[in-house]
Structure 1
């Protein structure tokens, strides 16, 4: 099938089509539907052979519409198939016919009839780039029906067939909306790997346009759901920061409060790293935290090099946090996050101890952390493995050593630095003594 733009029209049948259409419509209304269709088909052949795109498009649209108005849904499917397979059928005409037939879907008398027409139209549009947008919309309708029927897996599979990012006829907003629907269905299907792959097709630069705020919020809420499946708290915090920075959220106090609470919750839940440490200080500097004093105080505990008592944390923050979706007491996820928060408190305390002590007895360490020796060793080992702190445990002596050994080069560098510092101090002292002697001599002469 050649591109319609490359075809040269031999003759225009506009006048003949204008004359025939009212006649055919009257014939169909009077019960002579087949006669009307036959006359239209006769003229359609002539317009198609003459490459009259506009006239052919009008005829195909009227043909399927007359079948629909007659209430014969089987005939609609038959004629859509028949007309699309005509030899040398024009692309624009097929597109117009498919577009017309799609308007019938909302008026289908039953779901079964609607599905039959969707299947027919999807078969007609398969592999045809000039109706790729229509096929995408039909596929989305089909996925919605399957989801409503409770078959989420089938809905996700159907929608996953299309690579809309390659469709040139769809605008950027519609493509993004379609991809977000693919992500949502994959998450509902619990296919988190595929959801992550599909999410990379979305260009976040597109969300800088203020008119795309709704899509931006949908995307980042989906990404939060994906991140929390793997307990990727730091990613969840960063996604909520994107939500928080959205103008529509900033303008609504209830929304920005919720987003900021989630940011604080997930940044303190995230494992310690350079990125996490930088992010927690950025969050702590937000002026709006003043309106959330409890969360500001919680952040202050984690950004101050002081020990925290878990019992005190529970006493001050437990009741409030357990009512939030993040730490809700009645959900398995909330229970696990409270356990993770306890772990982060312990890890913070261990980092603080490692900064203030080079050596400490295991017994004293258990007292500071309010843990058993086995628990202290477990958490300390985890931090050593992650290279957050350096520590060695001497079990027979009951000593924990936090001072990392230095190799010869490091010791020499340290000694050299100390000698330089000493020499500078001696030189400065000598200069001051000489200055005082000179002042004393001048005073004595005077």
Structure 2
């Protein structure tokens, strides 16, 4: 818009007239603002009708500067902004410049009430006008921050989230990202985590590959961690921490990467077992930096080893330090819940280990290995079977748990056929090796 209007040829250049009259009008404004404003409005009409963009911008700025001193509540200023923005033939670039001039004065407002009234006036004037959408967004952000400072989070959130800044082509990508991050923050403070997650998806994650915006990347993943923690999605939390861990500024500072790596380990072991969780746990185990965190390194090794972890022993060895962390501390929100979830993950790990070593096991022996009651054992096994993690069948009359999946006739025949095929391949290979050896020995005896 502004580029096209800058190419419009003015019918008359009012630069000389303004150079001569504006100093006189400023002097007059000190004693009679009404008379000074009247002269400025005459100049505004002349420059507007002549399509003199440069002169129009000068006059509009002068009107803003003059009217702000007319009264304490800036009522005349706001009134003139409304009237001038509706003038027929007013160039859009000139309106945008006038709005920006008012925005530049906001920090000089005589009172908070005046500042808020002026912002609301700008929001009214700019509503529905694409060419001043960025200015509208900026004053809306300022208003939202004012409401937030007052403690009215709900109003601040509603004000800011009504804007769809991701559609603003004229807004810089960084500013756009900062705006959306503020929307996400207010939704989290309001307690609307669903809306916060929806808004977060408007941010292109690949944008954070740019080293210049790694500060925004850390803010983004901090919010994503809070959202995932609210929903108790531990694997998502661990993945968000992994993105933070991969940030150069974090990697370069042990004071930053050590707590991040610690949280990665804690939330990975808290996450329910699946292929992705297991893969990430094994990858973390290969990280040489993990060896600087002995407790966390040992915890990872215990979870990837096919060995039993007795919960009483885990609680005795790791309990004190883990309960002092912000993840498992009783003083933290959901700290006790996460501690209980850790116990569940240990028990589930033990059941998976038992299922690998036993095809059948008596319930009494299984409860002894798991340090559980018979009822708890059945509940955990049923949960893992439902999730598809293991195969198991509980025979209550015989008090036996079977982990071996029964094979039908076709499966048995296929297995037998495969074994016979493998055996024949080995026999053939051995035959070739024997023949080769005989030929080699024959050559040696002849020589």
Query: Deviation digits for residues 48-104 of structure 1, max 9, x if unmatched?
Result: 001111101110111011111344411111111111111211111111111111122
For 1:315 and 1:354, locate their aligned partners in 2 and report how far apart those are by CA, in whole Å: 26
For residue 44 of structure 1, what is the aligned residue in structure 2? 44
For residue 53 of structure 1, what is the aligned residue in structure 2? 53
For residue 263 of structure 2, what is the aligned residue in structure 1? 262
8 Å contact from structure 1 (residues 77, 120) kept in 2: yes
Counterpart of 1:360 in 2: which secondary structure? strand
8 Å contact from structure 1 (residues 393, 401) kept in 2: yes
Query: Deviation digits for residues 138-169 of structure 1, max 9, x if unmatched?
Result: 11011111112222111111111111111111
Counterpart of 2:327 in 1: which secondary structure? coil
232-241 vs 3-12, greater mean Cα deviation: 3-12
For 2:440 and 2:132, locate their aligned partners in 1 and report how far apart those are by CA, in whole Å: 97
Instruction: Quote the offset at 1:427 in angstroms.
Output: 4.3
Counterpart of 1:104 in 2: which secondary structure? helix
Counterpart of 1:322 in 2: which secondary structure? helix
For 2:441 and 2:189, locate their aligned partners in 1 and report how far apart those are by CA, in whole Å: 88
TM-score, length-normalised on structure 1?
0.95
For residue 211 of structure 1, what is the aligned residue in structure 2? 212
Residues 1:112 and 1:435: Cα distance change in structure 2 (over 3 Å): closer
8 Å contact from structure 1 (residues 20, 40) kept in 2: no
Residues 1:411 and 2:412 are matched in the alignment: yes
For 1:351 and 1:420, locate their aligned partners in 2 and report how far apart those are by CA, in whole Å: 31
For 1:350 and 1:441, locate their aligned partners in 2 and report how far apart those are by CA, in whole Å: 59
Aligned pairs for 1:27-38 within 5 A: 27-29=28-30, 31-38=31-38
Aligned pairs for 1:193-212 within 5 A: 193-212=194-213
For residue 342 of structure 1, what is the aligned residue in structure 2? 343
Counterpart of 2:188 in 1: which secondary structure? helix
For residue 402 of structure 1, what is the aligned residue in structure 2? 403
Aligned pairs for 1:252-401 within 5 A: 252-401=253-402
Counterpart of 2:326 in 1: which secondary structure? coil
For residue 122 of structure 1, what is the aligned residue in structure 2? 123
Residues 1:303 and 1:123: Cα distance change in structure 2 (over 3 Å): same
Gaps of 5+ in 1: none
For 2:382 and 2:114, locate their aligned partners in 1 and report how far apart those are by CA, in whole Å: 64
Residues 1:162 and 2:163 are matched in the alignment: yes
Instruction: Quote the offset at 1:439 in angstroms.
Output: 9.4
Residues 1:65 and 2:65 are matched in the alignment: yes
For this pair of structures, how many residues does the alignment match?
Answer: 445
8 Å contact from structure 2 (residues 360, 404) kept in 1: yes
Counterpart of 1:393 in 2: which secondary structure? strand
TM-score, length-normalised on structure 2?
0.95
